C-alpha cells in the first residue's frame, strides 16, 4: 500500500477514503492522530492492528463541533461549561456511552466514551467531510514517541495506512488532558495535558483527584494509563538532580564505554554537551511549553543516533510540567537519583 500525503486542497479525497474504511492520519494541536471512521468496527480494529495497540486500551473520538448529544447517553452541565471554555482544544471528556452509536471496538468494553474537538481547522474539515466522528489515537507504533509531524507518521506507518493529512508541526506536542465526568465522586483527571487543574477548577469546582495509572489486571479507562509509552529503543535515564548528579551519571556510562545522548534544556547542554555524542535541546529551562512541544521530536531524533543511552532532564511538576513529566517518566527506564521527580 502506498501512503499518500494530503493537504488542504485534497481533503475531499482523504474523506472519501475514510468513508470506505481506510485509515488516514491527521494533525491536531497536540499530536498526529491515526484516523478511522468511528462507526466502522473493521476500520477501528485495523487501527489497533496497525499500531500494535493492546485491545483493552480505548480510543478517543474526535468530533467537529460541540453538538454531541447524539453521540453520548447524557451531557452533564459541567460538560457544557467545559466545552464552552476549552473546545476546540486539548481537553478530552469522558461521557456515558450511548448504545449503537460507535463501533464496539472504540470503547474497548467500557460503558463510557471519550470525546474531544481538536483545535486544527484542516482536521475539523476532514471530520465534517467524512460525515461522522473519527477515532484518533497517536499515529505511531504503539509504545513509541508520539508523532508531531507528518514525517514522523510516515516513518512509523508508511505502507500501512492509506494517507496522511499534512498540517505541519503540531503546536502543543503532548496529548490532550483526559477528564472523566462519569466518576461517582466527581471529575477526575485520567491523563494530564495542556489544560490543567488550575484552569478546570474555576469552571467546575474542585476535582475529585487524578488517577493516571492503573494496575495490570484492570482495563484502562483512557489512553496512557497502563502501558509503557513514548519510549525510544535506547534506555532513557531521567535525571532529577544537581550538577554533581549529572556528572556522576555521565562518568558512569562513559566508564562503561557507552555513547551518550542528552535531551535537556539549553542551560544543561551548555555544561554537558561535550560529553555527549548527540544532543537535542528542549529550549530554555523556564519555558516548559517549548520543552513539551519538543519532547517527542527530541526522543525520535535521538532514537536515530548512534548512541546507547539517553540522559533526559527532569522539569518541575507545576502547570504544564505535570504533563511533560508524565510523558517523560513513562518513557524512562530509570530515574537518578532514586527519588520522586520534583
Q: Is 57 annotated as a binding residue?
A: yes
Q: Going by DSSP bridges, is the β-strand pair 134-135/163-165 parallel, antiparallel, or unpaired?
A: unpaired
- Give the pLDDT score at 341: 41
Q: What is the DSSP letter of 159?
A: T
Length of the chain measured in residues:
342
Q: How confident is the model at residue 210 (pLDDT cuts 50, 70, 90)?
A: confident
User: What's the pLDDT tens digit per position in 316-329?
Assistant: 999 999 999 999 99
Q: Is 30 annotated as a binding residue?
A: yes
- Could you tell me which CATH class the domain 4-210 is placed in? alpha beta
CATH of domain 236-336: 3.40.50.11030
Residue 189 is predicted with a pLDDT of: 97
For residue 28, give the nearest of 164, 231, 227 by alpha carbon. 164
DSSP 107: G
Rounded to the nearest 5°, which phi and psi values hold at 301? -60, -50
Task: Please give the backbone phi and psi of residue 239, each rounded to the nearest 5 degrees, phi first.
Answer: -110, 115
Q: Tens digit of pLDDT for each residue in 266-324?
A: 999 999 999 999 999 999 999 999 999 999 999 999 999 999 999 999 999 999 999 99
pLDDT digits (tens, 9 = 90+) for 55-89: 888 999 999 999 999 999 999 999 999 999 999 99
Q: Could you tell me if 172 and 288 are in contact, meaning their C-beta atoms sit under 8 angstroms apart?
A: no
Task: Please indicate if the annotation marks 333 as binding a ligand.
Answer: no
Helix-helix angle 288-303:321-331, to 10 degrees? 20
Q: Which three cell numbers stand for residue 170?
A: 503540531
Residue 53 marked in a binding site:
yes
Give the residue ranges of DSSP H helices in the chain: 11-19, 41-51, 77-86, 121-130, 150-157, 197-204, 243-255, 266-272, 288-303, 321-331
155 annotated as ligand-binding: no
Domain spans in the chain, listed from the N-terminal domain onward: 4-210, 236-336
- The band of 338, judged by pLDDT with boundaries at 50, 70 and 90, is confident
pLDDT digits (tens, 9 = 90+) for 99-109: 999 999 999 89
**DSSP structure string for 294-312:** HHHHHHHHHHTSS-SEEEE
> Is residue 138 a known part of a binding site?
yes
pLDDT tens per residue across span 13-58: 999 999 999 999 999 999 999 999 999 999 999 999 999 998 888 9
What is this structure's pTM? 0.93
Query: Among candidates 21, 27, 7, 29, which has minimal Cα distance to 50?
Result: 21
| Strand order through the sheet with 24-26 | 4-6, 163-165, 24-26, 33-37, 134-135, 60-62, 112-116, 91-96, 177-180, 188-191, 209-210
- Beta strand 60-62 with 134-135 is antiparallel
Q: Do 230 and 331 form a contact (C-beta atoms < 8 A)?
A: yes
Provide the pLDDT for residue 16: 98
Residue 181: count of CB within 10 angstroms of its CB: 20
Amino acid at each position: 500500500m502506498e501512503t499518500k500525503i494530503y493537504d488542504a486542497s485534497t481533503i475531499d479525497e482523504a474523506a472519501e477514503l475514510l468513508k470506505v474504511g481506510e485509515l488516514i492520519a491527521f494533525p491536531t494541536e497536540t499530536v498526529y492522530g491515526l484516523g478511522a471512521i468511528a462507526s466502522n468496527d473493521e476500520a477501528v480494529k485495523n487501527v489497533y492492528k496497525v499500531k500494535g495497540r493492546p485491545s483493552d486500551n480505548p480510543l478517543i473520538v474526535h468530533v467537529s463541533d460541540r453538538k454531541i448529544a447524539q453521540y453520548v447517553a447524557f451531557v452533564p452541565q459541567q460538560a457544557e461549561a467545559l466545552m464552552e471554555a476549552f473546545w476546540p482544544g486539548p481537553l478530552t471528556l469522558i461521557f456515558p456511552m450511548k448504545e449503537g452509536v460507535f463501533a464496539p471496538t472504540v470503547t474497548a468494553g467500557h460503558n463510557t466514551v471519550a470525546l474531544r474537538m481538536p483545535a486544527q481547522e484542516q482536521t475539523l474539515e476532514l471530520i465534517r467531510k467524512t460525515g461522522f466522528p473519527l477515532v484518533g489515537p497517536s499515529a505511531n507504533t504503539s509504545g513509541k514517541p508520539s508523532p508531531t509531524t507528518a514525517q514522523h507518521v510516515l516513518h512509523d506507518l508508511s505502507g500501512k495506512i492509506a494517507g496522511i493529512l499534512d498540517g505541519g508541526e503540531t503546536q502543543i506536542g503532548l496529548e490532550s488532558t483526559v477528564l472523566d465526568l462519569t466518576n461517582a465522586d466527581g471529575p477526575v483527571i485520567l491523563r494530564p495535558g495542556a489544560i490543567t487543574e488550575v484552569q478546570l477548577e474555576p469552571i467546575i469546582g474542585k476535582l475529585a483527584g487524578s488517577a493516571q495509572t492503573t494496575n495490570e489486571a484492570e482495563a484502562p479507562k483512557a489512553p496512557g494509563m497502563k502501558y509503557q509509552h513514548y519510549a525510544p529503543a535506547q534506555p532513557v535515564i531521567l535525571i532529577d538532580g544537581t550538577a554533581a548528579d549529572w556528572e556522576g551519571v555521565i562518568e558512569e556510562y562513559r566508564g562503561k564505554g557507552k555513547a551518550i545522548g542528552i535531551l535537556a534544556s539549553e542551560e544543561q547542554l551548555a555544561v554537558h554537551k561535550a560529553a555527549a555524542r548527540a544532543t537535542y535541546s528542549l529550549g530554555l529551562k523556564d519555558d516548559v511549553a517549548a520543552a513539551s512541544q519538543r519532547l517527542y521530536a527530541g526522543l525520535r531524533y535521538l532514537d536515530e543516533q548512534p548512541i546507547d543511552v539517553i540522559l533526559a532532564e527532569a522539569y518541575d511538576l507545576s502547570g504544564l510540567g505535570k504533563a511533560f513529566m508524565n510523558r517523560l517518566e513513562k518513557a524512562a527506564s530509570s530515574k537518578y537519583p532514586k527519588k520522586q521527580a520534583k
